[in-house]
A and B are shown apart, each in its own frame.
Chain A
Amino acid sequence: MTSSPRRITALAMGAIAALTLAACTGSSGSKPSSTQSGGVVQITLSHGYTDVEAKAVTAQVATWNASNPKIQVKLVFNGGNDGALQKTLAGLAAGSSPDIAYEFGSSMAALAGRSQVVDLSNKVKDSSFKWTDFYSFERDAATSSGKVYGVPALVDNLALVYNKKLFDNAGLAYPTDSWTWDDFRAAAKKLTDASRKQYGWAYVADGSEDTTWRWLAMLWQAGGDLVSADGKKAAFDSPAGLKATQLLHDMAVTDKSVYLDQGNGNYLNLFNSGKIGMLWTGPWDLSSINSDVNYGVQILPAAEGTHSSIAGPDNWMVFNNGAAREQAAWTFLTWLTSAQTHGEFTLATGDLPTRASETKLDSYTGYLAKYPGDAVFVLNLGNVTKARPNTKSYPQVSQAIGSQMQGVLIGQTAPQSALTAAAQQADGALASGQ
């Protein structure tokens, strides 16, 4: 709140003014070359890593600095989650951008095309960079309007994580890679025990992208599509869309086998306490699962024979602070995102490989031994066949779906009317060409 004594959290808002001003001051040109003295170029890298990831990136940068006296990298913290985009926009407006910044995939549409954001299309074409070694959906997420503005920094996907003990207690066989939605629903129902406040599944029902993307995976499994081929109309108000929405309704409202998380990540604590049997979640949660929980990982169930998953890759982006720094930034980034360097990073952190060839490194066996749960997630990268559209209207489509699905989950809205309403809002957003 304005000037209130409680302006405490990361208000994940930035400056509306930035929106315009950044565009206006974009041509302010290159920065003073004060950072360049005696042939040494100093660049800054902004990130939001904490804990093990922060330690790993700090160590890697130290290694680089020790062996590359001409390009010295300084790490800057971007404020974490909620602050990152805001800090970026402010930096653009004030002409104080870092040279390289970690940006969420969702920020791509907003940042792509700005004059300060370096178009990497030509740079990635260099054969030594091995651009096609990145998974194709990662490359899509780093591309906007046909131009490459990012290098994949992190990748994840959704898989089925389950508590073996709860399955054993219920006399259920563990999920398999040929599970159907019916198997999944039946298991969730069987795992639910109202008297012990135990649920079969958890769904993040805060109406945000967290709500939408799990539903998107279901839509794709049922053979549906989000938008029409030309991107002008919503395509999800379809038999496949209804099938996915109906499943949510049947499980959450009819079976009452779903714990509805409010978006604060409580589902994981409940999973740790043995109150939830199955989660659809990403590799990031594995390190938060307590050691006394015996869990398994399986690919998502299928509706029409496809076990589609969904991924939300994040990117490194390069900002223009003069030719010398841009060149130095690219040199460093090439090293940082190489299979070798990133392979070391994943070994230290348990993150997934961003390049296919990382799975062929010698260190990969060590990685799998250290993070056994990750094996399925790496495999599951192959089930990510579609990407969310990287357009400026996607957030509006996402919000329309998220909010309507929230209505379905709490039993307030019928599946078909939710779809109709969401599609109508999405059509409006897509038509306005945003």
Chain B
Amino acid sequence: MTSATAPPAAGPSPVHRRPSVLLRVWWSDTFAGWAFISPTVLLIGLFGLVPVVWAFVLSFEQNDLISPGRWVGLDNYRKLLHDPAFSNSVRNTVVYTLVFVPVCVIGSLLVAALLNRRIRGITFYRVAVFIPVVTSTVATATMFNWLLDPDFGVVNAALNKVGIASQGFFRDPKEALLAIVLMTVWGWLGFGVIIYLAALQSVSADLLEAAAIDGCTRWRAFWRVEVPLLAPATLFLVIWLTINSLQLFDEIFVTTKGGPVGSTTVVVYYLYVQAFQFFNGGYASAIAYALFMAILVITAIQLKVGRRLSHGER
């Protein structure tokens, strides 16, 4: 885990190869390093890490919200293994994440490339793409409920025009999760785009010119030259979107509420139901920390793979 996060993916630097300066550099880097991160470590340690550990203890308790918690050891975790509703929520979450993350990352990359040019009206286009990120989830959900209403929605009306039968969308157990993907990709695209827009600014012109001289087409240069240079940003985006899609909640809460018939019940929504409808506080905490472990492992793997990939490309 630690090795996955060891610093630069940039390869050994000449400085580090010279023994005479090695000690000096090590000392100064340790000092400088801690000087740079200590305010962050203190603040996030206090307001981030302490609560995480604190809440972790609760997952070993049984708690009905009324009487003080009772220590039950691993019981809550054992129960998870035999809870079909939990495995259903895991399945839904995995499916959602596997579709959402790649679509959103690739979509953001392509749209960012589109928006990274100097044409008339570019500011307007950029604002348009960013608007969904600013828009409240409630307004988004209201809008999508309207667009995707099986009986009165605009989308079905359009489909009917071109001879396709009406779809159920949020009302159809087979389509509801995909409708959620559609809505969240729409909502998150602008987020990915501004990450990529920022990253694209550091792709140097000379490199691209060199590629052009080599006879690369635009499209090839984009994939061969620009995309590899975007590796750190891509890694960031993949990890961040994965973390968030594994914790999907808002969009489910304001649209399908986990239905129809459990088809969009994702892990955090199930956790919410357990905690705030059934008042199984301890069990909900166990769900949260099972999810935490999964995210931790996935993130560590992503960091490791990401590092290897960017090494390979340099």
Query: What is the 8 Å Cβ interface bit string for chain A, positions 1-38, against chain B (1 contact, 0 not)?
Result: 11011111101111011111011100000000000000
**Interface contact B136-A9, CB-CB below 8 Å:** yes
**Interface contact B173-A412, CB-CB below 8 Å:** yes
Contacts of A66 in B (CB 8 A): none
- Whole-angstrom distance from the CB of A107 to the nearest CB of chain B? 10
- Whole-angstrom distance from the CB of A54 to the nearest CB of chain B? 19
Known: A262-B171, A270-B152, A407-B261. A12 touches B276 (CB 8 A): yes
Nearest residue (CB) in B for A429 is B278
**Interface contact B288-A16, CB-CB below 8 Å:** yes
Any A CB within 8 A of the CB of B279? yes
**Interface contact B58-A7, CB-CB below 8 Å:** no
- Cα(A7)–Cα(B254), bound, Å: 13
**Interface contact B260-A16, CB-CB below 8 Å:** no
- Cα(A206)–Cα(B170), bound, Å: 10
B60-75: which residues lie under 8 A (CB-CB) from chain A? 61, 63-69
Q: How many residues of A contact B (CB 8 A)?
A: 52
Contacts of B275 in A (CB 8 A): 13-14, 16, 19
Contacts of A263 in B (CB 8 A): 257
Contacts of B100 in A (CB 8 A): none
- Cα(A7)–Cα(B248), bound, Å: 11
Nearest residue (CB) in B for A14 is B276
**Interface contact B63-A19, CB-CB below 8 Å:** yes
Any A CB within 8 A of the CB of B255? yes
**Interface contact B63-A23, CB-CB below 8 Å:** yes
**Interface contact A13-B276, CB-CB below 8 Å:** yes
Contacts of B306 in A (CB 8 A): none
Contacts of B257 in A (CB 8 A): 206-208, 263
A248-277: which residues lie under 8 A (CB-CB) from chain B? 259-260, 262-264, 266, 270, 275
**Interface contact B278-A262, CB-CB below 8 Å:** no
A370-429: which residues lie under 8 A (CB-CB) from chain B? 392, 395-396, 399, 403-404, 406-407, 410, 412-413
Any A CB within 8 A of the CB of B196? no
**Interface contact B249-A114, CB-CB below 8 Å:** no
Query: What is the 8 Å Cβ interface bit string for chain B, positions 252-282, against chain A (1 contact, 0 not)?
Result: 0111111111100000000111011111111
A25-82: which residues lie under 8 A (CB-CB) from chain B? none
- Cα(A7)–Cα(B191), bound, Å: 13
Contacts of A17 in B (CB 8 A): 51, 54-55, 58, 285
- Cα(A155)–Cα(B258), bound, Å: 28
**Interface contact B247-A1, CB-CB below 8 Å:** yes
Any A CB within 8 A of the CB of B141? yes
- Cα(A266)–Cα(B153), bound, Å: 12
**Interface contact A8-B138, CB-CB below 8 Å:** yes
**Interface contact B279-A9, CB-CB below 8 Å:** no
- Cα(A208)–Cα(B272), bound, Å: 13
**Interface contact A396-B278, CB-CB below 8 Å:** yes
- Cα(A112)–Cα(B172), bound, Å: 39
Nearest residue (CB) in A for B139 is A8
Contacts of A188 in B (CB 8 A): none
Contacts of A86 in B (CB 8 A): 276
Known: A13-B275, A207-B257, A412-B173. A112 touches B142 (CB 8 A): no
Q: Please tell me which one of the listed residues B67, B142, B260, B277 contacts residue A395 in the complex, with CB atoms under 8 A apart.
A: B277
- Cα(A9)–Cα(B244), bound, Å: 15
Any A CB within 8 A of the CB of B133? yes
Q: Please tell me which one of the listed residues B136, B170, B248, B273 contacts residue A262 in the complex, with CB atoms under 8 A apart.
A: B170
Looking at chain B, what size class is its interface with the partner chain? 35 or more
- Whole-angstrom distance from the CB of B50 to the nearest CB of chain A? 12
Contacts of B138 in A (CB 8 A): 8-9
Any A CB within 8 A of the CB of B193? no
**Interface contact B145-A266, CB-CB below 8 Å:** yes
Known: A264-B142, A410-B171, A410-B172. A23 touches B67 (CB 8 A): yes
Any B CB within 8 A of the CB of A434? yes
- Cα(A101)–Cα(B33), bound, Å: 50
Known: A11-B253, A16-B58, A410-B260. A264 touches B141 (CB 8 A): yes
**Interface contact B250-A413, CB-CB below 8 Å:** no
Contacts of B243 in A (CB 8 A): 2
- Whole-angstrom distance from the CB of A335 to the nearest CB of chain B? 30
Contacts of A264 in B (CB 8 A): 141-142, 145, 255
Any B CB within 8 A of the CB of A339? no
Contacts of B280 in A (CB 8 A): 434
- Cα(A407)–Cα(B171), bound, Å: 10
**Interface contact B261-A8, CB-CB below 8 Å:** no
- Whole-angstrom distance from the CB of A121 to the nearest CB of chain B? 17
**Interface contact B58-A407, CB-CB below 8 Å:** no
- Whole-angstrom distance from the CB of B291 to the nearest CB of chain A? 11
- Whole-angstrom distance from the CB of B97 to the nearest CB of chain A? 13
- Whole-angstrom distance from the CB of A332 to the nearest CB of chain B? 27
**Interface contact A20-B276, CB-CB below 8 Å:** no
Nearest residue (CB) in B for A86 is B276
Any B CB within 8 A of the CB of A109? yes
Contacts of A11 in B (CB 8 A): 249-250, 253
Q: Please tell me which one of the listed residues B51, B65, B188 contacts residue A110 in the complex, with CB atoms under 8 A apart.
A: B65
Contacts of A22 in B (CB 8 A): 65
Nearest residue (CB) in A for B286 is A16
Known: A13-B276, A206-B259, A259-B151. A1 touches B58 (CB 8 A): no
Contacts of B61 in A (CB 8 A): 20
- Cα(A206)–Cα(B171), bound, Å: 9
**Interface contact A6-B173, CB-CB below 8 Å:** no
**Interface contact A413-B261, CB-CB below 8 Å:** yes
Contacts of A395 in B (CB 8 A): 277-279
- Cα(A114)–Cα(B68), bound, Å: 10
- Whole-angstrom distance from the CB of B274 to the nearest CB of chain A? 9
Given A17-B51, A207-B258, A263-B257, 12 extra CB contacts under 8 A: A8-B137, A16-B285, A19-B282, A113-B66, A113-B67, A114-B66, A205-B171, A207-B259, A270-B152, A399-B273, A399-B278, A410-B168
21 contacts between A and B (CB under 8 A): A1-B244, A1-B250, A2-B247, A4-B244, A6-B137, A9-B138, A13-B275, A16-B58, A16-B275, A16-B288, A17-B55, A19-B69, A20-B63, A20-B68, A22-B65, A23-B68, A112-B66, A206-B259, A410-B171, A410-B172, A434-B278
Closest 4 CB pairs of A and B: A19-B281, A207-B259, A9-B137, A20-B69
